[in-house]
Amino acid sequence: MADFDVDLFVIGGGSGGVRAARIAAGYGARVMLAEEYRMGGTCVIRGCVPKKLFVYASHVHEEIRDAAGFGWTIPSATFDWPTLVANKDKEIARLEGAYTSNAEKAGVTIVKARAVFEDAHTLRLSTGETVRAKTILIATGGAPNHGAAIPGIEHVISSNEVFHLPKFPKRIVIQGGGYIALEFACIFAGLGSDVTLVYRGDNVLRGFDEDVRTHVRREMEKSGITILTGCTVDKVEKHGESFTAHLSGGSSVAADQVMFAIGRHPNVKGLGLEKAGVALSPTNGGIAVDDFSQTSVPNIYAVGDVTHRINLTPVAIREGHAFADTVFGKRTVRVDHATIPTAVFSQPQVATVGLTEAEARAQFTHIDIYKADFRPLKATLSGSESRILMKLIVDGQSDRVLGCHIVGPEAAEIIQAVAIAVRMKATKADFDATMALHPTSAEELVTMRTPTERHVRQAAE
């Protein structure tokens, strides 16, 4: 249409926005994408990718420690933080280039600018120009949330700054009990830091299965991480290059860095959403959308973390793809947000798919629990005291596997395959009929024959 400069304008160059732009362009749409920072978004630039690279680095000390039991004598090793940071930066730059070139090859016009709404079809760029778009997709992601302001909050870093610290912290206090807090607690502990994790709740990983929460906390504490629950950081004081974190219980912890990982909020500030008439969700503060990612304004859509539905990169990618298929591909695609596998790259890893035990017992009358807690084969020679947890949650009436929860090495790799079975509504009999692959830890998933617990919920009279 002559009235519009482009068919689709995408705000945000992260995983969801780029996927939507590429697919829409493939359908013949004229697409423009604005990214004010770096192409790749949270996941590539300051999230899952650099985090996983740091996780790999933090595992090396464990491999060196375990090597002695297998006959290896390894000289004293040293770790250099600036080298890790520099090598990480090089890889992130490569990925950023790939995101940019792949989008441009698909026919997307990329502008390095901030875009804000003037009205439901008009966007003003920070370069001064305006663009009229028939359809607009908001994919601006999320940002770290520091919570209520406390004295000394200016000294606190988030998961954004942690990837660029010029100096390795020998002591670090991390506030939070979710996956970001746990992952960085384990990263820094693995690299040699003295780590204190502070969390206001009674146990870490709220929302995960209770057995998982108990197991991972025990394993982290075994590794030397101090976990303080039921308290918060109320004040941070700076002393030269070090800090004191004052806790709500009256105690204090000395540290070289204080990091908050207490949640993330949708990145909606300053977008001019009110000028376009785009409504926010009253429950989570994200952009309110329907099952097809459409906002309160018919020609404006939103995907990914900015909607605050399920804040995972693969979900944003799937939502972006479905949006492009539906709006530009003439095929209606609805994203199924059920049975999404997820992982916490802590040490040990946590990976889950499906329902927790509490969720299953609330939804079904008969629940069977299968659980194994054991030392892996490697530990017999390495001397490690670490233990693996595997848990299956089964509907006692239909025999369907409702959930699987794993804490241990490579849990994420295992759960990806298990997620297929759970999504296909596999039964416990299907698991039992599957031949074990020996010797592996994962074979426990198909060899657990007897329920460790059975729960029957009586109907109300």
- Judged against a pLDDT cut of 80, whether residue 10 lies above it is answered with yes
- Residue 277: partners with Cβ closer than 8 Å, 6 or more residues away: 120, 296, 297
pLDDT band at 1 (very low <50, low <70, confident <90, very high): very low
pLDDT band at 279 (very low <50, low <70, confident <90, very high): very high
3-state secondary structure of 343: strand
Q: Alpha-carbon distance 197 to 172, whole Å? A: 9
Which CATH architecture fits 348-454?
A: 2-Layer Sandwich (3.30)
Instruction: Please tell me if the domain spanning 6-144+265-328 has the same topology as the one spanning 348-454.
Output: no
Orientation of helix 48-67 relative to helix 81-105, angle to 10°:
140
Q: What local confidence, expressed as pLDDT, does residue 410 receive?
A: 95
Q: Does domain 153-262 have CATH number 3.50.50.60?
A: yes
Torsion of CA 22, 143, 269, 40, to 10 degrees: -20
Tell me which DSSP letter residue 172 carries.
E
Q: What pLDDT, in 10s, does the model give residues 297-350? A: 999 999 999 999 999 999 999 999 999 999 999 999 999 999 999 999 999 999
Tell me which DSSP letter residue 235 carries.
E
Q: Alpha-carbon distance 309 to 312, whole Å? A: 9
**For residue 223, what are its two tokens?**
């590794």
411-428 average pLDDT score: 97
Note whether 325 and 333 are within 8 A (CB).
yes
Tell me which DSSP letter residue 287 carries.
B
Beta strand 31-34 with 6-11 is: parallel
Q: What pLDDT, in 10s, does the model give residues 104-134? A: 999 999 999 999 999 999 999 999 999 999 9
- Judged against a pLDDT cut of 70, whether residue 362 lies above it is answered with yes
Listed range (86-90, 208-212, 254-258, 456-460) with the worst mean pLDDT: 456-460
Measured from the Cβ of residue 308, the count of other Cβ atoms closer than 10 Å reads 22
E strand segments, 248-365: 252-255, 257-260, 264-266, 300-302, 342-344, 350-354
Q: What local confidence, expressed as pLDDT, does residue 146 receive?
A: 84
- Total H helices, total E strands in the chain: 13, 22
3-state secondary structure of 80: coil
Q: What local confidence, expressed as pLDDT, does residue 457 receive?
A: 86
3-state secondary structure of 209: coil
Q: What local confidence, expressed as pLDDT, does residue 148 receive?
A: 81
Q: What local confidence, expressed as pLDDT, does residue 147 receive?
A: 81
Q: What local confidence, expressed as pLDDT, does residue 2 receive?
A: 53
Q: What pLDDT, in 10s, does the model give residues 215-233? A: 999 999 999 999 999 999 9
Percent of the chain with pLDDT over 70: 99
Across the chain, mean pLDDT equals 95
pLDDT band at 249 (very low <50, low <70, confident <90, very high): confident
Overall CATH class of domain 6-144+265-328? alpha beta
Fill in the amino acid letter for 278: V
131-145 average pLDDT score: 95
Q: What pLDDT, in 10s, does the model give residues 31-74? A: 999 999 999 988 888 899 999 999 999 999 999 999 999 999 99
pTM of the model: 0.94
Q: What local confidence, expressed as pLDDT, does residue 287 receive?
A: 97
Q: Where are the domains of the chain?
A: 6-144+265-328, 153-262, 348-454
Q: Which residues of 237-272 are buried (b: 16+ CB within 10 A; e: fewer)?
A: eeeeeebbbbbeeeebbebbbbbbbbebbbbbeebe
Q: Alpha-carbon distance 177 to 187, whole Å? A: 15
> φ, ψ for residue 169 (rounded to 5)?
-80, 120
- Residue 309: partners with Cβ closer than 8 Å, 6 or more residues away: 284, 286, 289, 315, 337
Measured from the Cβ of residue 438, the count of other Cβ atoms closer than 10 Å reads 8
Would you call 59 a catalytic residue per the annotation?
Answer: no
- Judged against a pLDDT cut of 60, whether residue 461 lies above it is answered with no
Note whether 62 and 347 are within 8 A (CB).
yes
Note whether 266 and 142 are within 8 A (CB).
yes
**For residue 258, what are its two tokens?**
């204080």
Q: Alpha-carbon distance 379 to 395, whole Å? A: 33
Marked catalytic residue, from 121, 155, 337, 438: 438
Q: What local confidence, expressed as pLDDT, does residue 459 receive?
A: 61
